[in-house]
Amino acid sequence: MKKKIRKNKFSRFWKHYIFTLYWSKYHKKSSFSLFIFHFILYIN
């Protein structure tokens, strides 16, 4: 049960990380602040 929750959170983080990378290609100026914001949001 514990591993399953951890895995779900991890995969959700990676999906969001990939999305952020795609976003940064099209919005280079705001990408860095956006990335940091979402990274902090998802790592906690």
pLDDT tens profile 1-44: 566 656 777 787 788 778 777 777 776 656 677 777 777 777 65
- The answer to whether 6 and 36 are in contact (CB under 8 A) is no
Q: Which pLDDT score is estimated for 20?
A: 74
pTM score of the predicted model:
0.38
What would the two tokens of residue 35 be? Answer: 């990335």
Q: Which pLDDT score is estimated for 15?
A: 80
What's the CA gap between 3 and 29, in Å, rounded?
A: 37
Amino acid residing at 37: F
